[in-house]
Amino acid sequence: MTTIMQQWEVAVPARVVVLGVKEILLVVGDSAAHDAVRRAAARVLGAVPHIAMVRGDEAAEADALIRSLRPHMVIGVGTAVGLGPLEHHRPGDIVVATALRPVGSRFEPLETGPSRLMPPSVRLLDRCTLATVGWRRGRVHFGPILSMDPAAESVVDTPAQCAAALDAHPGAMAAENEGTAVFAAAQRAGIDWLVVKAVGGTSDPAAEFAMHVVKASSLV
C-alpha cells in the first residue's frame, strides 16, 4: 500500500509512512494511533486516503514535512487523560480541542503567544459538529486541552496529577502529550489542524471519528 517516495521529489524522513500522492492528510500520533487511522479509514471511507503520518515527538521532521508536502490538513489522533469528574469523560469518549494550551513541568504555561492558547481550524471544528450527527461510538466533548511538553517529561496520570493540572488550568477538559510543535508548524504554514483524542483505552474511537471529520470535509 505504501507508495514510492520519489513521486513527490521531496526528502521524506524514513520513519514517516506516506500513502497516496494527491491531497495529503498529515496524522500526528504514535504507531498505535497510525494503525488505528488505517483501520478507521478502510471502514469509514472504504479506502485509505492520501495520508502522511508522523510521530508527535518528531517535531523537526514534522515541520519539514509540512513545509514540503503542504498537507490538506493536520490531525492529532491518539488518547488523552480526561480531567474533572469521571461522569464528564468516560473511557471511550471523544475529546476535540477547541484550543490547545501548551504546558511544561508543574503545569506552568509555555510562552506560545499573547494568550498562550492555540486555536485549531474553525472550518474543521465545524466539520466535527457535522460528524457528530449519527455518531454512536461514545460521547463527543469540545473544550480546551492541555498539551504537555515532551521535553519537560511532565505527565498527567494519577488523580493527584489530574487535580493539580485542573487547579492550574481551570476549565481544561483533558491532557495530551503529542507535542504542540507540530500543530504550531501547521498554524504557521496556514494549514488547517485539529486534535481528536479518545479518553483512555485505545486510539480507535478517535481515529474513527477523525475519519468521519475527513469525510465531512470532502477530502476524499
Residue-level pLDDT at 56:
74
CATH numbers and ranges of domains, the chain: 5-216 (3.40.50.1580)
Element (H, E) at 82: strand 73-82
pLDDT value at 16 more than 60: no
Q: Which residues of 161-174 are buried (b: 16+ CB within 10 A; e: fewer)?
A: bbeebbeebeebbb
Residue-level pLDDT at 41:
87
Cβ 203 vs Cβ 29: under 8 Å: yes
Residue-level pLDDT at 208:
93
Residue-level pLDDT at 4:
26
How far does Cα 72 stand from its chain's mean position?
A: 14
Q: Pick 22 or 156 by higher pLDDT.
A: 156
Residue-level pLDDT at 48:
65
Q: Pick 153 or 131 by higher pLDDT.
A: 131
Convert the pLDDT of each residue in 36-66 to its tens digit.
988 998 888 876 667 788 877 777 777 888 8
Residue 118 per-residue DSSP state: B
Query: What are the grid coordinates assigned to 199, written together?
Result: 479518553
pLDDT value at 19 more than 60: no
Q: Pick 22 or 167 by higher pLDDT.
A: 167
Sorting pLDDT into bands at 50, 70 and 90, what band is 138?
Answer: confident
Residue 200 per-residue DSSP state: S
pTM across the whole model: 0.82
Sorting pLDDT into bands at 50, 70 and 90, what band is 125?
Answer: very high
CB under 8 Å to 69, separation ≥6 — which residues?
8, 10, 12, 24, 26, 52
Convert the pLDDT of each residue in 147-199 to its tens digit.
876 665 566 777 888 888 888 888 889 998 876 788 888 888 999 999 999 99
How many angstroms separate the CA atoms of 196 and 96, rounded? 5
Sorting pLDDT into bands at 50, 70 and 90, what band is 136?
Answer: confident
Residue-level pLDDT at 102:
84
Residue-level pLDDT at 115:
46
